[in-house]
Amino acid sequence: DIQMTQSPSSVSASVGDRVTITCRASQGVSTWLAWYQQRPGKAPKLLIYGTSTLHSGVPSRFSGSGAGVDFTLTISNLQPEDFGSYFCQQTYKFPLTFGGGTKVDIK
């Protein structure tokens, strides 16, 4: 199975800050990488697929980059509604696997 490793596990930032979350795959996944946001008590929501394509309705302050094994999710101009956990997922090979998550707290 492809292991996905996210860092950091948690981050605390202020409104307006730029937040960067990284995800590393144990083997190459090309650009088959998605990012999800999960607010407490809610289901995950798709933010980005194919490494860098924003899902419908997702604000442009979210962006993704990378290829192969190293990927990045960037939230520019952090907003209060961005608190929650973020997960990466490789969609290159089954079983689909997720990173362990990054919790974003708003200072």
Partner 1 sequence: EVQLVESGGGLVQPGGSLTLSCAASGFTFSDYWMHWVRQGTEKGLVWVSRINMDGSSTIYADSVKGRFTISRDNARNTLYLQMTSLRVEDTAIYYCVREMNGPTTPDYWGQGTLVTVSS
| Site for partner 1, rule CB under 8 A | 32, 34, 36, 42-46, 49-50, 55, 85, 87, 89, 91, 94-98, 100-101
Least distance (Å) between residue 72 CB and partner 1: 18
Which of 78, 79, 76 lies closest to 64, judged by CA? Answer: 76
- Closer Cβ to partner 1, 30 or 79, answer by number: 30
Instruction: Give the whole-angstrom CA distance, residue 65 versus residue 76.
Output: 14
Q: Which is nearer to partner 1, 54 or 76 (CB)?
A: 54
- Residue 17 CB, shortest distance to partner 1, in Å, is 24
The residue among 42 and 107 lying less far from partner 1, judged by its C-beta, is 42
83-102 core/surface letters (b: 16 or more CB in 10 A; e: else) = bbbbbbbbebeeeebebebb
